[in-house]
């Protein structure tokens, strides 16, 4: 049987889980369930990272030991995964003996490779994310670029890993394996980092007490990030090199948020190369989430209420929304209005109504599911679309394009709804043979859809199976590869609403009505054509000294690169812009801004204090003309 191994990152146990943890874990659960539908043996790993300075600090503040603190916080993760119906196979704790033994084994092998040496470390350290930064990477005033907190200049005698030795091998591997890093924007970002040169990294700490000792020098503890990365193999009983490790390594997918991708695509593969272990197949870094256009923060109360949404709308609609609403590799903005609109439009109107009206018509006119004996217009299209749908969704799921896969499924649902309307099936009481054929097609289409939706909405899919008359019978992708798998003669069930309709969301405040057009200001199409708008990709971004509104950008126009000074620093972090395709006014005269040359201007929408760059909804070659 084919194997599939997928991992979440292990989540840092210094606080209770939030929407970011839920987002990543649901995505992994969807892939795990989908691959089980394909008949694969799946190992789905998640867990918690329990070591490091932050854990020690929180425990001290609470007046308890770090281990006691970890034991207390653990149930909040377990209970959330249960609430979200996460189907993981194993939950790893970095305080477990299984992990500690595996880490010691891996670090011993790494030491034996000859790529570990002792030296003096000096660098800028953020205690919040337990990560070192170069001076160039820091934000203004020597602040962490992620948390905006002051960093400490740290000096220690540590052990180092010869990361720089693997720079060329990493570049070669990434170039030879285009799907190793996804999405493409993250791949481009990492290639830029690698081509700028790597430095050796410190892998131990003498000043951090709460951790796992180095197996070859117990006076130092292993750097928490190095130890944490090992969980992907320690959970497979790496220490014993047992059956799980032999069967499931290398991982098919490591999934995480984009802020931790560098550890996973640079440090982790380099260490695996050093000990001659195979590398994971794919590493996918998804985007961040905002709420109502603002960064999510507990201090401002701007959080997404997971419990409240599930209580009000149900678990599966919650899962569906977060996989459908956002392009998975990009950042996304949550609003309550979007959630309610998606619930009512997709789930209640499209899917729920289709099931209700089909079962309702069947119940009024038939005792059992009829045999489809009288073919007519549109039948063949419904059948062919179903077969094509299975292949289309499979390709999209392999690309981890959840939103597009779901949109493709719902396009088919909407097509069946139009089929019901086009055939006016409710008016065919004098032609029950034709009516029965149409309703059979709707029911079989619903069976296909419910199987494809099972990874996203497992509870709803089972309820649809039951209402179709299939009970709890197991369904898989093989069962929908051919049309006609729904047996005629099944008893007709009364429809039970899947998605109770919710009140329409309040109308969103919009911009004030524009002033009447002053016709004396109208321009001709020729005037518009004078502006040369081009697609470009942001390949570099950094702050401008003493200018809190400006960013210095490097953009790729295909045949050339340019420098652009843009007043967007209060709306975007530099690292969030890397890889974005935007629109440049390419024939604007160069200008000096704060002494820096700006060779163009980016297009953006502005409303009150909010600014949003004009971006593309699909990839297009850099330099393409916008018209």
Residue 298 is a catalytic residue: yes
Collapsed DSSP state (helix, strand, coil) of residue 543 = strand
Q: What is the pLDDT of residues 584-598, one digit of tens each?
A: 999 998 888 888 899
**Distance in angstroms (rounded) separating the CA atoms of residues 52 and 15:** 13
> What's the pLDDT at 505?
46
Residue listed under structure tokens 């204090």: 609
Per-residue confidence (pLDDT) for residue 510, from 0 to 100: 46
In the residue annotation, 28 being an active-site residue is answered as no
Q: Is 126 a catalytic residue?
A: yes
| pLDDT for the residue 321 | 98
Lowest mean pLDDT among 123-132, 312-321, 329-338, 482-491: 123-132
Q: Which are the contacts of 612, defined by CB distance < 8 A and separation ≥ 6?
A: 571, 604, 605, 606
Q: Which of 28, 144, 230, 536 is catalytic?
A: 144
Own/partner long-range contacts of 172-181 (Cβ < 8 Å, ≥24 apart)? 173/269, 173/279, 174/265, 179/281, 179/282, 180/265, 180/279, 180/281, 180/282, 180/283, 181/261, 181/265, 181/282, 181/283, 181/285
Candidates 83, 147, 173, 277; catalytic one: 147
- pLDDT (0 to 100) of residue 148: 73
Catalytic residue among 3, 120, 199, 298: 298
Distance CA 357, CA 362 (A): 9
Give yes or no for residue 504 having a pLDDT over 70: no
CA distance 264 to 270: 9
Catalytic hit among 28, 126, 230, 536: 126
Report the Cα 575 to chain-centroid distance in Å: 17
Is pLDDT of 283 > 60? Answer: yes
Residue 536 falls in the annotated catalytic set:
no
- pLDDT at position 371 is 96
Give DSSP secondary structure letters for 566-616.
ES-TTT--HHHHTT-EEEEETTSPPEEETTEEE--EE-EEEETTEEEE-B-
Task: Give backbone dihedrals phi and psi of 452, rounded to 5 degrees, phi first.
Answer: -70, -30
Annotated active-site residue in 28, 70, 129, 536: 129
How many other β-carbons are positioned within 10 Å of the β-carbon of residue 96? 16
Would you say residue 509 has pLDDT above 70? no
pLDDT band at 325; cut points 50, 70, 90: very high
Q: Which domains does the chain have, with CATH numbers?
A: 330-480 (1.10.730.10), 519-626 (2.40.50.140)
Locus of tokens 């991992």: 7
Please choose, from the candidates 366, 345, 474, the residue with its C-alpha nearest in 3D space to the C-alpha of residue 410.
345
Pull the structure tokens for residue 542.
């950094």
pLDDT at res. 447: 97
Q: Is 277 one of the catalytic residues?
A: no
Catalytic residue among 62, 295, 364, 501: 295
In tens, the pLDDT along 361-387 reads 999 999 999 999 999 989 999 999 999
Of all residues in the chain, the percent with pLDDT exceeding 90 is 72
Are 335 and 304 contacting, i.e. CB atoms less than 8 angstroms apart?
Answer: no
For this structure, is 264 an active site residue?
no
The pair phi, psi for residue 302, each rounded to 5°, is -90, 65
The pLDDT of residue 508 is above 50: no
Is 57 marked active-site?
A: no
Q: Which pLDDT does position 470 carry in this prediction? A: 92
Q: What is the mean pLDDT of residues 3-17?
A: 96
32 compared with 627, residue with greater pLDDT:
32
- Catalytic entry in 18, 173, 291, 374: 18
């Amino acid at each position: 049987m084919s194997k599939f191994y997928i991992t979440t990152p292990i989540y840092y146990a210094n606080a209770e889980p939030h929407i970011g943890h839920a987002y990543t874990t649901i995505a992994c659960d969807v892939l795990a369930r989908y691959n089980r539908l394909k008949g694969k043996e799946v190992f789905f790993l998640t867990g918690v990272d329990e070591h490091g300075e932050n854990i020690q600090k929180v425990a001290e503040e609470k007046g308890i030991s770090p281990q006691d603190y970890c034991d207390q916080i653990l149930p909040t993760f377990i209970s959330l995964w249960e609430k979200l119906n996460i189907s993981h196979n194993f939950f790893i704790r970095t305080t477990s003996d299984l992990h500690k033994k595996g880490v010691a084994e891996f670090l011993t092998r790494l030491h034996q490779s000859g790529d570990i040496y002792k030296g003096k470390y000096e660098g800028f350290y953020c205690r919040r994310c337990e990560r070192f930064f170069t001076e160039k990477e820091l934000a203004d005033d020597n602040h962490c670029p992620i948390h905006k907190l002051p960093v400490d200049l740290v000096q220690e005698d540590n052990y180092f890993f010869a990361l720089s030795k693997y720079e060329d091998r990493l570049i070669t591997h990434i170039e030879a394996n285009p799907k190793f890093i996804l999405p493409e924007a993250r791949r481009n970002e990492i290639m830029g980092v690698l081509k700028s040169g790597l430095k050796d990294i410190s892998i131990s700490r003498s000043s951090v007490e709460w951790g796992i000792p180095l197996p070859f020098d117990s006076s130092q503890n292993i750097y928490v990030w190095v130890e944490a990365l090992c969980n992907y193999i320690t959970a497979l009983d790496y220490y014993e090199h047992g059956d799980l490790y032999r069967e499931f390594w290398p991982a098919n997918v490591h999934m995480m948020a984009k802020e931790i991708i560098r550890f996973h695509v640079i440090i982790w593969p380099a260490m695996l190369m050093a000990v001659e272990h195979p590398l994971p197949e794919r590493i996918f870094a998804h985007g961040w989430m905002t709420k109502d256009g603002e960064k999510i923060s507990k201090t401002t109360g701007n959080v997404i209420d997971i419990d409240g949404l599930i209580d009000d709308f149900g678990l599966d609609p919650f899962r569906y929304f977060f996989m459908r609403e956002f392009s998975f590799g990009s950042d996304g903005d949550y609003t309550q209005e979007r959630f309610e609109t998606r619930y009512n439009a997709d789930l209640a109107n499209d899917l729920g109504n289709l099931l209700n009206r089909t079962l309702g018509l069947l119940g009024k006119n038939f005792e059992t599911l009829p045999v489809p004996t009288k073919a007519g217009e549109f039948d063949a299209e419904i059948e062919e679309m179903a077969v094509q749908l299975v292949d289309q969704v499979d390709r999209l799921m392999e690309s981890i394009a959840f939103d597009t896969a779901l949109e493709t499924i719902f396009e088919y649902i909407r097509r069946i709804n139009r089929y019901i309307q086009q055939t006016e099936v409710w008016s065919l009481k004098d032609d029950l043979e034709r009516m029965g054929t149409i309703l059979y097609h709707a029911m079989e289409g619903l069976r296909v859809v419910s199987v494809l939706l099972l990874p996203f909405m497992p509870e709803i899919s089972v309820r649809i199976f039951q209402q179709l008359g299939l009970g709890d019978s197991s369904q898989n992708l093989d069962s929908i590869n051919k049309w006609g798998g729904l047996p005629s003669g099944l008893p007709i069930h009364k429809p039970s609403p899947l998605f109770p309709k919710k009140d329409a969301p309040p109308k969103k405040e919009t911009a004030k009505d524009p002033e009447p057009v002053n016709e004396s200001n109208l321009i001709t199409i020729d005037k518009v054509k004078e502006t040369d708008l081009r697609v470009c990709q942001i390949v570099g971004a950094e702050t401008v000294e003493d200018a809190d509104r400006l960013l210095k950008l490097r953009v790729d126009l295909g045949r050339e690169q340019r420098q652009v000074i843009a007043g967007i620093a209060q709306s975007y972090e530099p690292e969030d812009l890397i890889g974005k395709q935007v629109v440049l006014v390419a024939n604007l005269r160069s200008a000096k801004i704060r002494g820096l040359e700006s060779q163009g201007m980016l297009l953006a929408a502005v409303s009150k204090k909010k600014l949003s760059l004009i971006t593309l909804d699909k990839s297009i070659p850099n330099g393409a003309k916008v018209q």
